[in-house]
Amino acid sequence: MTVPKFTALKGTGQKISMVTAYDYPFARLVDEAGVEGVLVGDSMSMVVQGHENTLPVTLDEMIYHAEMVGRAVNHALVVVDMPFPSYHLGKFKAIENAGRILKETRCQAVKLEGGVEQAETIAALVSAGIPVMAHCGLRPQNVHQLGGYRVQRDEQALMSDACAAAEAGAFAMVLECIPRGIAAKITGMLSIPTIGIGAGADCDGQVLVLHDILGMASDYAPRFVKAYANLNKTVVDAVRGFRDEVRGGDFPAAEHTFE
């Protein structure tokens, strides 16, 4: 999958599937499953590092994990989140930071949050040959400014952000936590694919966090999440079985022992 092929999926009738990945083993499995896109998300800050939001993860940490993912994926388009505040320090610094991501990770594109206020940065990155996926609606990096993780309902602002990001040259756009009707309007208005997360079924595609799909999330799961497995229970049961066999002297058995 390339950036032009990804964008060309718009209007073909084929919905686009994206899943996050943060390391080599899971990225290899996600790619084998046949998704069109793999996102190395700054959600890593929460689901891998255990922070309460996406703000603590650093550029170096994103590059470290994205390099693992880049080595594992052979088919899907790999997009890497630019963490806060790596693209807020001026367009030249944004180009430098995004350039590092592409040079050091084997990935094909970056993603950044924002619309109108980030249009100049998106345009600068694109002019430097760096493909950009935009992200409008709920912007987790602005969680303090927004007052929490809330559905974004200002239709005029959402439409303006989407138009600005697309006109600046974004090749696709994530729409997060916005009403389905507004997401449908944006999707119909834009010539680039929209990838929804909590934005309804009318988007051109959907993205979810891998750990949510696998049932490895914490006790709280957003409304838009669907778990397709329960690895929390599978992992706990497996480790508990190992513990019990060690305590009972059943492991290692003869077949696990060298003579």
Q: Where are the domains of the chain?
A: 3-228, 230-258
Q: Is 43 annotated as a binding residue?
A: yes
Mean of pLDDT values over 50-71: 97
Residue 218 has pLDDT above 80, yes or no: no
- Residue pair 57/45 in contact (Cβ under 8 Å)? The answer is yes
Q: What is the pLDDT of residue 164?
A: 98
Residue 140 to residues 67, 105, 212, Cα–Cα distance (Å) = 23, 23, 17
- Residue pair 185/153 in contact (Cβ under 8 Å)? The answer is no
Helix (H) or strand (E) holding 18: strand 16-20
Q: Is 219 annotated as a binding residue?
A: no
Mean of pLDDT values over 31-50: 97
State how far the Cα of 111 lies from the Cα of 174, in Å rounded to an integer. 9
Q: In this predicted structure, which of 124-128, 141-145, 195-199 has the lowest mean pLDDT?
A: 141-145
Q: Is 91 annotated as a binding residue?
A: no
Q: Is 113 annotated as a binding residue?
A: yes
Residue 141 has pLDDT above 90, yes or no: no
How do 77-81 and 205-208 pair as beta strands?
A: unpaired
Q: What pLDDT, in 10s, does the model give residues 155-193?
A: 999 999 999 999 999 999 999 999 999 999 999 999 999
Say which of 32, 52, 167, 176 is annotated catalytic. Answer: 176
Share of the chain above pLDDT 90, in %: 92
Residue 146 has pLDDT above 80, yes or no: no
Residue 250 to residues 240, 243, 256, Cα–Cα distance (Å) = 13, 10, 11
Residue range 3-228 forms a domain whose CATH class is alpha beta
Q: Is 111 annotated as a binding residue?
A: yes
Q: Please report how the helices 119-127 and 91-105 are oriented relative to each other, as an axis angle in degrees rounded to 10.
A: 50
Instruction: Read off the pLDDT band of 3 (50, 70, 90).
Output: very high
Instruction: Note if 36 is an active site residue.
Output: no
Mean of pLDDT values over 41-53: 95
Residue 124 has pLDDT above 90, yes or no: yes
Of 103, 160, 109, the C-alpha closest to 132 is 109
Q: Give the torsion sign (CA, 134, 140, 145, 148).
A: positive
Residue type (1 letter), 90: G
Six-digit token pair at 254? 């003869």
- Residue pair 219/30 in contact (Cβ under 8 Å)? The answer is no
Six-digit token pair at 36? 């069109």
Mean of pLDDT values over 93-105: 98
In this prediction the pTM is 0.94
Mean of pLDDT values over 190-198: 98
Which residues pair with residue 110 across a beta bridge?
A: 80, 132
